[in-house]
Structure 1
Amino acid sequence: MKMKSRTKEDAEFPEVTPSEVLEVGVIGLGVATVTLTGPMSASKLSIIIVYIVALITQFSRRPEHLAAQEGWTFRKNSTNGVVVGSLLFMLVSHGLQGDTCQGFQSVLDCSVVQLMFLNLLVLLVCSVPNLGKPWIIMGQTVYALGGFMFVRSGLQGMPPSVTNIMDMFIFYPTMTLMFFSALLSFLPGSLTAGEALFITQILTALTRVPVEPVYTDTPDRHLSYIRKVCLTSCIHIAIVVKYVLSKLHEINIAHSRGSIDKSTADKKRWKWSLYFYLGVAAEIFLFELPRLYIRIGENPFLWLLDFILTDRKRIILINIWLILMTLGIGVVIFNQTSSTQVRKIFHILAVAVFIPGLYLDLQLLLLAATGLTCIFILTEYIRIFRVQPYGDLIHDALSAFTNEQDSGIAILTPMCLLIGLYQPLHYSNDASLSEFQSKLFLYSGVLSTGIGDTAASIIGSRYGTMRWPGSKKTIEGTLGAVVSQLIACVLLSIFLGVEPSFSSAWISITWVIILTSLLEAFTSQIDNLVLPSFMMAMFMAVS
């Protein structure tokens, strides 16, 4: 049969590559691993439906057509990743909730079935032109109104059925479209459609954080709420200072084009930078801190100080982190050029930070990682828009940790490494950790990115000769990733007091590691973000 020739319009979009097909195939194996364990349920059926629709959307190149209509720019040399972006959060959600869809409520408020509708909504509008700006404006309006309604719900006892209906048909759909279009509009060339879709689902779920006027003296609940407030504050800050950042962006463009001289540009930058800091301070002190005070019932800073200093293990842990942070600063100072070696040193340091925290104090590690993520996001605001006086300094410091995936306006790989390492910890209160396979859930980020990805990079670059079809990654590197993660799991089993033996559990663990290593070899998405989520979902499925 004669193949249909590509039209001129289709020729502008990337062709299907072998690595893209293999990437989708690995995700398909992951879907099969999840859906074939136990009886069929609405949650599993939702995952299958989204996989099929996302598969059609990815290979029809509809996201690329939409981007051309909207003026968006996806990251170069990467596939659109719609299948990966659509399925990852659903797979994790299914693992946390199980077939009953009862759990997960202490972290997020999205069920797998809800996520199916949100994914299908985004995949549908990929064929609709002129999506961007109206949804951004509408989303911000709905977010403000929704926030008011949720506060009112917490204060006056609005029936849960009303807020659930608002969530399903108004709040979640509008916020999903707003975040998806906003990410691609404000971060040109930094994300693929799949990455934007994955981040969108997380942001949409995190925005549903009600204010609770009645507090209970439970440290774990306080810490959980503090983490939620920290993460949502990054969204609130972006909305508050949006106008200021747009002014700084205009000044930077005018200076780069020679429309204004350096002296004039610097004066204007300092003026709007002052407004930026005032806006951030106002948002934190007038909105975020009162939220925390209402929930905790006392000064949040004093509560945190008491939480840290009343435990000897936490003081030891902070001293360890200070030493490792000093080493990290030294790496930044003495290595100003980007290289794989420098990035992998940073990977090793990050793992060295997380392992003592996992052993000594999980809650403090999670709190510190959440706070550091917020600092990363805030510094990206400062770096991208050259907010004075730190914008250029931060840009030069982070340039040592960039790779080909940081080709856009944002430098995401260092922040995604941090998120990937601590993401499993964020869900730890909802996961059953009675078995060794389930305990490995906590180490998904350390195993996949800290050990597996690092081993694949080092072994592949030094000894790799056989490359995977259509990929720069080598078979030797993938084998090195599998072996290194298996060795790490054996050492962890000994460390956790589990006698390593060749049981069915180890067959499942090996299967998860092989799937994750294959995804690392084939995916063109940000592996620091993708691999931990995938491994986490697989560990929950097999355990």
Structure 2
Amino acid sequence: MRYYESNIIIKFLFNEINCYEKKLKMTRLLTFFDFILSKVEYKLIRPLKCIERQISMNLQEAGIDTRPANSNGLWCHLLLPTVLLVYTCFDNVTLLYKITSLISIGLLCYCVLFILFLTTSSVVLKEPIYAGCLASSIISAVLLNFCLGQGLLFSISVTFSSTILFACVLRLCITKCQKTFTVGEAMIVSQSMVLFTVMSVIKFLFEMHSDDKEMEFISLIFYTILSTVGLIVTALYFLKDSQRNLRTLVYIVGSAIVFVLLILHSLFGPNFVTIILNYVFVKQNRVQIFIFWLILLILAICALLVRTKLAIKASTVTRKTFHVLASLVFLSGIMFDIYLMTFAAGIGLGVLIFVEALRKSSIEPISSALQSAFLVYSDEKDCGLFAMTPLYLYVGLAFPLLVVPNRENRQLELLSGVLSIGIGDTAASWFGSRFGFNKWPDSSRTLEGTLFNVLSQIGTVYALELFGVLHNSHALLRGAVCACAAAALEARTAQVDNLVLPLAALVALQAARLLC
């Protein structure tokens, strides 16, 4: 009996020693993690927070109101150049694509200098500092000259003009568009506008055409529509108050139609109407997809009219209805007819810009009707000069169509916008508002919403594979990486989701593709 009791005591002591050792190891491990986190916070996070505070103080001293947010989003300037450079380094892209990506390096360098200048003083927002433009453009010019073999005069002129244009556009976005952008959002928007403009100018001046004849046909129509919309917006901006009426609008729109017809006639000949109609309606059996899109369009218009007539402020979940409808359009187009989707996306972008210009034109009764719809569906982020959230949504869904090369083999990357904001963000908003209880620290987003964000994106990729419409290698694994990255960013960022999530999702998909 004593032997039995002594064994029990020995086993008890042995278990206690083991528990103590495990607790000691766990304590050491937690201490190690606390040490690492404290070092990271001391070396990285704390300096960034100091920079954020100093920039906010300088903006306030200069009398500039950026979009209300708890962060300036200084990291956002990295996204677009990263996407372009990864494709340039690891894919067979055109010369025009390579030139555009190297120009983006100069814009990235200027963003870094701009942040440093803005940390010390707000003078950078008032007086153009061309030394920073010159230093940034030299970097891109050297890369164009040595890496792509471009002439020195071409390299310097293209990069310097691009950087100067970017500096001007960035200042205008921050100083003139009060409460419309954070600093990071203004950088992304300015980068996109400048790179697209420079790419278009180089394409037509130096005749850098791709081997894809169908895409060349679509791009000609797209540039024609977009340039026409730009002329309409310019004309509306310079109208006098006495000229802001329906009669003047009819003159402007009529002149724009004549301009479009003349340009298309010069591009495609006298049978341009037949050529375009045959391409859109006859070339392939596109009746089913047009009927599907028409149904979605009617549903969106009905929802908009009913809610506007009731004048009931739409909730976040209600606004996500348009995310779903727009995502279904892009999902079906990308999966079944990528060229038609690109064609429709270009025309849709022009229509969206035109509608926003009409809302701001003060031409009655059109402006009042559009403003009523905007007030019903706007959220707290639409407090600035323009309605950027719907534009961000559309561009976020269509953005991969422009930047992803070799599109026949990249369906998953083309769906980065659909997955991140059309499916994941919508799912997180709906599920989190109904079943979410545990919130992230210093955030209104919930852990349950973030989890459902991830699961919804993975489930969508799995369903597309299951039905045989998605054929990318390692699609589920890459979709999971994209979902986790987009969901984590959606939960923690103070920037507009529709703008940053598609870019971040595309970066995550690129990284996962390279690892796989």
- Do these two structures clear the TM 0.5 threshold for a shared fold by scoring above it? yes
Select 2:188's aligned residue among 175, 198, 215: 198
Return the alpha-carbon distance in structure 2 between the equivalents of residues 296 and 217 of structure 1: 17
Return the alpha-carbon distance in structure 2 between the equivalents of residues 129 and 460 of structure 1: 40
Amino-acid identity (%) = 26
Moved more, 532-541 or 455-464: 532-541
Higher relative contact order (CA 8 A, sep 6+): 1
Contact 2:432-2:446 at 8 Å conserved across structures: yes
Return the alpha-carbon distance in structure 2 between the equivalents of residues 207 and 404 of structure 1: 31
Gap change, CA 1:360 and 1:305, over 3 Å in 2: same
State the shift of 1:427 in Å. Answer: 2.4
Gap change, CA 1:333 and 1:487, over 3 Å in 2: same
Select 1:306's aligned residue among 267, 278, 283: 278
Contact 1:78-1:525 at 8 Å conserved across structures: no
SS at match of 1:313: coil
Return the alpha-carbon distance in structure 2 between the equivalents of residues 62 and 431 of structure 1: 44
Instruction: Please list, as runs of the form range in 1=range in 2, the aligned pairs for 1:218-297 lying within 5 A after superposition.
Output: 218-231=213-226, 234-235=229-230, 237-239=232-234, 241-244=236-239, 247=240, 268=242, 270=244, 278=251, 285-286=258-259, 295-296=267-268
- Equivalent AA in structure 1 for residue 220 of structure 2: Y
- Residue 260 (structure 1) aligns with: none
- Equivalent AA in structure 2 for residue 184 of structure 1: I
Instruction: Please list, as runs of the form range in 1=range in 2, the aligned pairs for 1:66-215 lying within 5 A after superposition.
Output: 66-83=58-75, 85-98=76-89, 103=94, 105=96, 109-111=100-102, 112-126=104-118, 127=120, 129-131=122-124, 161-168=152-159, 170-208=160-198, 209-210=200-201, 211=204
Contact 2:88-2:97 at 8 Å conserved across structures: no
Normalising by structure 1, report the TM-score.
0.72
Gap change, CA 1:314 and 1:507, over 3 Å in 2: closer
CA offsets 1:26-51 (integer angstroms, 9 cap, x no match)? xx9xxxxxxxxxxxxxxxxxxxxxxx
Return the alpha-carbon distance in structure 1 between the equivalents of residues 271 and 368 of structure 2: 35
- Equivalent AA in structure 2 for residue 330 of structure 1: C
- Equivalent AA in structure 2 for residue 93 of structure 1: L
Gap change, CA 1:522 and 1:394, over 3 Å in 2: same
Which segments of 5 or more consecutive residues in structure 1 lack a partner in the other structure?
Answer: 1-24, 29-51, 139-158, 249-267
Return the alpha-carbon distance in structure 2 between the equivalents of residues 515 and 80 of structure 1: 20
Q: Between Structure 1 and Structure 2, which shows a larger proportion of helix residues?
A: 2
Contact 1:212-1:294 at 8 Å conserved across structures: no
SS at match of 2:100: coil
SS at match of 1:207: helix
Gap change, CA 1:277 and 1:105, over 3 Å in 2: farther
Return the alpha-carbon distance in structure 1 between the equivalents of residues 250 and 114 of structure 2: 35
User: Matched residue pairs, number?
Assistant: 442
State the shift of 1:62 in Å. Answer: 4.8
SS at match of 1:407: coil
Gap change, CA 1:212 and 1:59, over 3 Å in 2: closer
Return the alpha-carbon distance in structure 2 between the equivalents of residues 269 and 290 of structure 1: 26
Moved more, 110-119 or 347-356: 110-119
- Residue 361 (structure 1) aligns with: 337
Return the alpha-carbon distance in structure 2 between the equivalents of residues 103 and 213 of structure 1: 14
SS at match of 2:96: coil
- Residue 396 (structure 1) aligns with: 372
Select 2:483's aligned residue among 513, 518, 524: 513
Return the alpha-carbon distance in structure 2 between the equivalents of residues 176 and 371 of structure 1: 26
Return the alpha-carbon distance in structure 2 between the equivalents of residues 499 and 372 of structure 1: 28
State the shift of 1:135 in Å. Answer: 6.0
- Residue 354 (structure 2) aligns with: 378
CA offsets 1:198-229 (integer angstroms, 9 cap, x no match)? 01000001112133697999332121233344
Contact 1:75-1:191 at 8 Å conserved across structures: yes
Larger Rg: 2
Contact 2:82-2:507 at 8 Å conserved across structures: yes
Normalising by structure 2, report the TM-score.
0.75
Gap change, CA 1:325 and 1:74, over 3 Å in 2: same
- Residue 406 (structure 1) aligns with: 382
Contact 2:317-2:429 at 8 Å conserved across structures: no
State the shift of 1:431 in Å. Answer: 4.0
Instruction: Please list, as runs of the form range in 1=range in 2, the aligned pairs for 1:456-475 lying within 5 A after superposition.
Output: 456-475=428-447
Select 1:530's aligned residue among 488, 494, 500: 500
Moved more, 113-122 or 481-490: 113-122
Contact 1:206-1:228 at 8 Å conserved across structures: no
SS at match of 1:174: helix
Return the alpha-carbon distance in structure 2 between the equivalents of residues 236 and 128 of structure 1: 37
